[in-house]
Structure 1
Amino acid sequence: MAPARTWLITGASSGLGAHLARAALAGGDVVVGTSRSAQRLEPLARAHPGRFSPLQLDVLTAASFAVAEQVVAEVVAERGRLDVLVNNAGRTQVGALEETSEEEFRHLFELHVLAPAALTRAALPHFRRQGGGTVVQISSMGGQVTAPGFGVYCATKFALEGLTETLAQEVPGVRFVIVEPGAFRTGLFEASSALVSPPTPAYEATVGPTREYVRTGAGTQRGDPAKAAAAIHRAVTGPRAPLRLVLGPDAHDGIAARLEQLGAELRAWASTSRSTDLD
């Protein structure tokens, strides 16, 4: 029987993070889950004594390399090893670039790019020493497909995906899985989670529909987060895993359409692309 894996999951108190924690625990592994509120982690801790460790953490603080290293070192000291890092904590944001404040812009990049990068950086030495490990980056279909009003959100996910794809080339022996969910029924669109920049009339026609979609979309998403968590768990624990795990028909169809559009444009401009070498 294989030894239990140790998972570190950020944002484990609700949504996809909580479902993934339950899937890992049901599979016989142990989980360290983080949340800004330790109280919100208590149900998991009570249900799985000795196998689920709650860790109060505002992931924004882990955008510091020093803090991220301390967090990972504490997990390894408590559990003896770290096998799976899941960078899950995040939030949605709606606003045209002109509508987005500098504070909102920096906040989202620290949450979606700097903190996952710092935690991943901190985990890599441990993975190398023990001969392997897995990093799961919870991205979004917005890591490949854009929409008006989601520009800053998509920019953070594009950045995270570019970094992770490079890491997969840099760090042999470590498995990297970029998860690209579509719309799943989590709390991402709830008022407490969604960051909505103040609207301006100039963007009502383009960003207005996206803002309305987020305002009214909570609880209407078709994706089942328990099924998403099960799919991620299978990828992490199975013999093979994709670099990008697309989840949901909306994500699959949207990404497929974008790839077709990119391919068509690449082919249409191929002669220009190939004409720029020195004679």
Structure 2
Amino acid sequence: MIGRRPLLLGFGAALATPRMLGASAPAQGAVDLVLNGAWRQGGYALGRTEPRALILVDGEALSTASTDGLFIVGFDRDAPALAEIEVRSGARSTRRVLDVAPYAFPSTRVDGLPPATVEPSDPALLDRIRQEVALKTEAFASRADADDFRDGFIWPLETYRISSEWGAQRILNGTPARPHYGVDLAAPAGTVIRAPADGRIVFTRPDMHFEGGLTLIDHGQGLISAYLHQSQLDVTPNQPVRRGDPLGRVGMTGRATGPHLCWRLKWRDRNLDPSLLVGARAPRRLA
């Protein structure tokens, strides 16, 4: 069951046109720029420009286009209504402003969790959690020089039921918690988990306190997907993976009340909805 369809703009013959700063036609000294994507909170923009152009988001230099001119920009769950994307190549540049649509995120309640996974207080456990946070922070800082997101994602499970939507406001054991930055895919324990796109494994660990069995894949330019609660991990750090390769198996390790895969995605420090990249395609090569 798929709970909602992504807002895919420009995936057919016509491209959605973002509001442009300045002239409506490319000016002398401008850089070619084509964009499509899901321009909403938790979504993204896929772009094609000149190879190795500098990518700025809201005035901050955050990325560099690939050797094929491809790049991705993510919009966090609480992204503001406008996002400015600028590409620079030498002394030339082009800026565009995208309208980022708001999204009404649901609220979900989860009861029956072990108290130590909701409000841990044991000093030894808190020290373990701090160490695990440091490990995850280092892994999420990976910046592979790649554009493995260019052909979008496939679902990591062949058969599943969405048991919790991305971005839901969580109430855990009656206590309000941070939003849920994953899509929960309920499936029988042991179901094979497959890579949704090409990439490189940057982290694996079978026994994280909250996440249980955890795998992270770097798809390039700071786009990193995560797979939580696995009962079995079948990949190792630095291993390249191709779309459809097995990563591990569904379990209920860590903070979980039943077998499922929690599928997450981050672009740099921004949390994205990975399901919105299913079926995505980067803009075609510039003429």
Give the TM-score taking structure 1 as reference length.
Answer: 0.26
The structure with more strand, counted as a fraction of residues = 2
